[in-house]
Structure 1
Amino acid sequence: MEPLQCGTSPIVGFRFSLHPMTGDFIQVIKGALRETDTTNVWMHTDDVSTVIRGRQLHVFNAAKSIALHAAKTGVHVAMSGTFSVGCPGDSAGDAYLDKGDELLNTDTSKQYVSSQFALYPMNNPDYMAIIYREVERAKALGVYNDSMHYASGIHGDIHDVFAFYEEAFANARTSENAHLVMTVALSINSPSHGGGSGA
C-alpha cells in the first residue's frame, strides 16, 4: 500500500489540551466539552488530549467555544494545541466535510485572552514572508501583543483572537503548498493579566 501524500486532505484538525489551575480540573474540562455543541466535528478524547476534525469553520468554532466555556468557570485556564490541514492522517472525520455553514456555537460573551501562536507553512520556501505578513495583519487588527522567540503574542477579546487565528490559518495555505501547521497557546483568567481581563 502506497503512503498517502500530504496536501490531499481538506480536513482541518485541532489537537489540544486544557489545563485548568484548580483541583476540580476534571469538571472544568468535561464541562467545557459538554457545553460545546460538537455536532459538526469529529471528536475524540484520550488521557492526554482531545482532537476535533472537520471543516475549518466548525473546528475553529468548536475550539473557541471550548475555551470560552472553560473560561466561564472563572479559574485560570491554559489551552495549548495544534491546528493542521493538508495531510491525510486518519479518515475518521471525512463524513463531517458535508456539514453546512451554520455555526452551532454562538455565545458572544466577552473574555480577555493572552496567547501565542506560530505558523509552519510546510514545504513553502517563502514561509518567512507568510509569517511576517500575518504578524503585520495582527498589528493592523489591534490583536498583536509582542515578538518573542519561536512565537508571536496575540491578545484581546477571545472572538477577535480566534477570528485572527482562523484567518491567518486560511491565508497561510496555498494550493501549491497545502500542508499547514499552526500552534497556539492561550492563557485565560490569569492573575498576571491585571487590568486587561475584559471579562
Structure 2
Amino acid sequence: MEPLQCGTSPIVGFRFTLNPMSGDFIKIIKGALKEIDTSTVWMNTDDVSTVIRGKQNHVFNVAKALTLHAAKTGEHVALNGTFSIGCPGDTSGDVYLDKDDVLLNTDSTKQYVSSQFALYPMNNPDYMAVIYREVERAKEHGVWNDSMHYASGIHGDIHDVFAFYEDSFIHARSEEHRHLVMTVSMSINSPSHGGAENA
C-alpha cells in the first residue's frame, strides 16, 4: 500500500473552541449551533472542541457565522482554532465536497474583532517569504494590527477579517506545497479593546 501524500484531498478542516465568558456559555454555544445553517459541512463536537470539514468557502462561512452569532449576544467571546488543508488521510466528510457554492449564512451584522493568526506552510523551505507576503496582504486588506512573537495581529470588522483569512489561506499554498495549517485566535466584545471597535 502506497503511503498517503500531503495535499491529496481538497477538503478543508477547522478545529476550534468557542469560549463565551458568561455563565450562560452553554446556551450561547448551543444557540449559535442551532441558529446558523451547518448543512454544508461535516461537523463533530467532542468534550474539548468542534471540527468542521468541507469545501473551503463553506468552512469559512460556517466558522464566521458561528462566531458572529455568539458575539451578537454582547458577551465577551474568545475563539481559538486551526484551519488545515492537504493533511494526509484527511478524508472524513468528503461527501460535502459535492455541495454547490451557495453560501447559506449571510448575516451582515457588523462586529469588531481583535485577532491573531499564524501560518505554517508545511514542507515549504521558503515559508518565511510566504508569511511576509501574507503580512503585506493584511496591510492591503486594511486589517493589519501589529507584529508580535509567534503570531501577527489582525483586527477590524468580522467580515473583513474572515475575508482576509480565507484569502490568505488560498494564497499561502501552492501546487507544490499544498499542505497548509493556519491558527487563529479571536477576542470579541472584550473590555480591553478600549473603544477600538469604534475607530
Three-state SS of the structure 2 residue aligned to 1:39 is coil
Aligned to 1:6: 6
Structure 1 outlier segments of 4+, above 4 Å? none
Letter paired with 2:22:
T
The one-letter amino acid paired with 1:24 is: D
Structure 1 unaligned blocks of 5 or more: none
Aligned twin of 2:88: 88
2:134 and 2:143 map into 1 onto residues whose CA distance is 11
Deviations 1:170-198 (A, max 9, x none): 00010001000000000000001121235
Q: What code does the residue aligned with 2:179 have?
A: H
1:81 partner SS: strand
**CA distance in 1 between partners of 2:46 and 2:89 (Å):** 17
Residue 69 of structure 2: aligned partner: 69
Indicate the larger mover: 52-61 or 87-96: 87-96
Q: Which runs of 5+ in 2 are unaligned?
A: none
Kept in 1, the 8 Å contact 2:9–2:90? The answer is no
Q: Is the deviation greater in 85-94 or in 22-31?
A: 85-94
Q: Which residue of 1 aligns with 2:131?
A: 131
**TM-score (structure 2 length as normaliser):** 0.97
Aligned equivalents of 1:40, 1:53: Cα separation in 2: 9
Alpha-carbon distance, 1:88 to partner? 3.5
Separation (CA, whole Å) in 1 of partners of 2:13 and 2:89: 10
2: CA distance, partners of 1:165 / 1:89? 24
Q: Counterpart in 1 of 2:45?
A: 45
Q: CA deviation at 1:32?
A: 1.1
The C-alpha deviation readout for 1:13-60, integer Å capped at 9, x for no partner, is 000001110111111111111112011100000110000000000000
SS at 2:153's partner residue?
strand
- Mean alpha-carbon deviation: is it higher for 16-25 or for 3-12? 3-12
| Distance of 1:86 and 1:92 partners within structure 2 | 13
Secondary structure in 2 matching 1:65: helix
Q: Deviations over 1:132-163 (max 9, x none)?
A: 00101111221000000000000000000000
Q: 1:158 is matched with which residue?
A: 158
Identity of aligned residues (%): 78
Judging changes above 3 Å, is the alpha-carbon distance between structure 1 residues 48 and 192 closer, same or farther for their aligned structure 2 residues?
Answer: same
Work out the CA distance in 2 between the residues paired with 1:12 and 1:6.
13
Aligned partners of 2:135, 2:2: CA distance in 1, in Å? 38
- Match of 2:47, as an amino acid? D
Aligned partners of 2:62, 2:190: CA distance in 1, in Å?
A: 22
Paired residue secondary structure (1:37): coil
For the residues of structure 1 that align with 2:67 and 2:138, how far apart are their CA atoms?
Answer: 20
Q: How many residues align?
A: 198
